[in-house]
A and B are shown apart, each in its own frame.
Chain A
């Protein structure tokens, strides 16, 4: 049955309509989780708030389990899903820049929009900085192109790399997630006097 648009069950025009609804739901959940506060977001780096880890880990695990069940029940064709190619060098460099930006700016791109949406000035400033960064990157792209496209491993998954089945990967991630939730809860209980 799925994916719905590549299988022409829905026409491509629905792409943007669905995107709006998913965007609204995503924004709502982020705001409800307190992700418009930069102090809450960076708590994961300083060790006083682990909401980011919990929310995104839960989202990843639920998606993994959901996709596999939908595929096994015949509602989704697993092979037709798009797998983003892994550009190893860009991924490592990008992660370092993203991490630095996150810990110093207090937002990731999505949450900065969320913060700006409720009128937070730091969110707005972050977006302006983000746009400047985009322009600089675009202008410098010819210089960076070689690095940008280096070490393209293609659409590889953990299954291809480690030879573990999708099911086992999901179980491992779920167990790691639950352990992480437990450990962060214990840490959270010990650090109660941090004001933010």
Chain B
């Protein structure tokens, strides 16, 4: 009995030493070189996960709430940028993203960089280039400005049989559009005259107007033992 206890005790001591040694090993083991460099297949995998996409609703909400953590980067040329863009966006044309003057905006971990252009093709390509350089927090506006225009500036009214969530989303988008300078549609104003939707929707919004948008909070899954 005493011998058995001694063996058990020795096992516990061995396990305790093994745990502490493994934990201490973490302090001195920096990982394999390959683990820190982002290889092309890893970039490809990352791009396949699609976790780097922000949709128009998310971006509209961030702009309206004045989220200081995002950095909107318009990748189109300066002429197009001058015509219209998202409020607060800066212009770094696609061909200049790796220029010394601009690379500092991407090689940082302070902001969530949101790349956008007319579609998301150019932004996706830029995202691949920037991510392969292991720059963190790179995101892409899904569908680009075209999608933003179609969802926020000119949202499509759901059909009468659509679920309530579709109407909630539509109303949120209409309210968001109001922030970006789109006049309220007649239905939302309860029959008052409101005028049409302007061609650009006033995307560049010189004067910001505040709109209160109530969004339902998503329920998170919770765990337990």
**Which residues of A137-174 have CB atoms within 8 Å of chain B's CB atoms?**
149, 167-168, 170-171, 173-174
Residues 62-99 of chain A: 1 if any B CB is under 8 Å from the residue's CB, otherwise 0? 10110011011110000010001100000000000000
- Cα A164 to Cα B27 in complex, Å, equals 12
Provide the residues of chain B in CB contact with A74, threshold 8 Å.
31-32, 34-35
- Cα A11 to Cα B48 in complex, Å, equals 13
Provide the residues of chain A in CB contact with B26, threshold 8 Å.
65, 68-69, 72, 167, 170-171
Quick one: closest A residue to B34, CB to CB?
A74
A178 to B34, Cβ gap below 8 A? no
Number of CB contacts from chain A to chain B under 8 A: 76
- Number of B interface residues in the complex (CB < 8 A): 25
Q: Do A80 and B51 form a contact, CB below 8 Å, given A71-B31, A109-B225? A: yes
Nearest Cβ in chain A — how far from B199, in angstroms?
A: 39
- Cα A168 to Cα B28 in complex, Å, equals 11
Q: Do A178 and B223 form a contact, CB below 8 Å, given A72-B29, A74-B32, A168-B27? A: no
Can you offer 28 A-B residue contacts whose CB atoms are under 8 A?
A7-B45, A7-B48, A8-B49, A56-B225, A61-B19, A61-B23, A64-B23, A65-B19, A65-B22, A65-B23, A69-B22, A69-B26, A69-B29, A72-B26, A73-B32, A74-B31, A84-B220, A85-B220, A149-B217, A167-B27, A170-B23, A171-B20, A171-B23, A173-B23, A174-B19, A175-B20, A178-B16, A182-B16
B residues near A, CB below 8 A?
12, 16, 19-20, 22-24, 26-27, 29-32, 34-35, 45, 48-49, 51, 217, 220, 222-225
